[in-house]
Structure 1
Amino acid sequence: MSATIAASAVVLALAPLVATGAVATHRAPHLVAREQGVTPDCRTAGGVRTCVHPARAPMLPVLSAAAAELASALPPGVVAFREVDDSTLWTDPAPGRLVIALQGHDRSRWRDIAVQNIAPELTGVSTCRNERMGELYQSDRLPDSVAVAQGGAIWLARAAGADGRMISLADESVQVADRLDARPEDQVKSYLSWALPGIVECQGELTGLP
């Protein structure tokens, strides 16, 4: 296995794509006990409703704007999420709802980490990685479907102001993202309008890239 693939596998293994817990800020609630009767602080922007625990209310404007930027990078009609919830609210992931762990301890990077947790869910990275896990460890090259899913997620993260490096460092995935970056935004959105449903199902193909 190449060093690049190995590095990517480590990064993916560590990246918290769908949150089951949270890293506390100094104001965060207890992370194990479920609080009863908590009224979340919510904001809607770009068609996406973003909710956080009241203790994290100062983070809401930034997180809401980031979610809206991700939604705006997708073509109309294929936006795969309508709600983003802070995991300390104890809501469950559902169709159209993403639950993420806010890394509030990292004051300089928590927004970028949140963006890079959301973006892979919009392109089916976790699903594709699980389906093709055997190939990831048996080949020197990523399966095309994984490269397209990861590359698309990197492109989305970049569109929302993050570097995407937490999603994947694999050459194949970065090349997909770079190729999309080199195209006009409307051309990429046109491509995603028909390709994204297949990409999410781990059926993305390099030959279909714009």
Structure 2
Amino acid sequence: MKRKKRYLCGFILSMVLTALMIMPCYAAVGKDYKFQLDRTVTNKTTEFEVVFANYGHVTSTEYAGARLCVESGNKIIFSKKCDTDGDMKVKIPAQRTGSVLKIYLKDTDSVSNIKTLKVKKLNSILKVKAGKSVRAPKVSVNKKGNYCVYARKGDRLVVKNAKGKTVKTVRYTKTGRKNIPKLSRLSEKSELYLYVQKGNKKSACVVIPKQIDILE
């Protein structure tokens, strides 16, 4: 009988420990949250989106009591109570190049792991020096959900990803709007930076944010 009780107690204890390991509980010790941003944060960024997940799952009601915090220079520049969708739009003042941002979840009892990232300079990512005489491209979305870009005759549209690599170029033989379906596919992998080049002169950039599909 004593042996059966020991087995039963051991079984119950193991089940409790297993439940604690797999249950996405914010206050639990040793939980590591994966914070994913929808774009590269640069010195021009004032808005971005954060996806906070644990073990690959989007957060749910267990995290509704926590707050998502963004800190810069030991000062909290954003703090908002988490909803149940697992993603949150963040608005911050533009930060200086080289500033360090810290993103974490916080409740009354504890603080999660901290995602640390350094603010990058937009021009250093793109390696583009904008010329005032060249107009930036105009980007819109058509009824099919594809990106259309307006530019002038003789313009060369250049598309770069967040790593500064050129992923698409389009030559305009006439002034007008071109449907470029590939931009939607490219934006699933990276934030995109578009500018127009005419000879040695380049326009300012237009940003297409990275698309993120959030699964419950």
TM-score by length of 2: 0.24
Structure whose alpha-carbon radius of gyration is higher: 2
Higher helix share: 1
TM-score by length of 1: 0.25
Higher strand share: 2
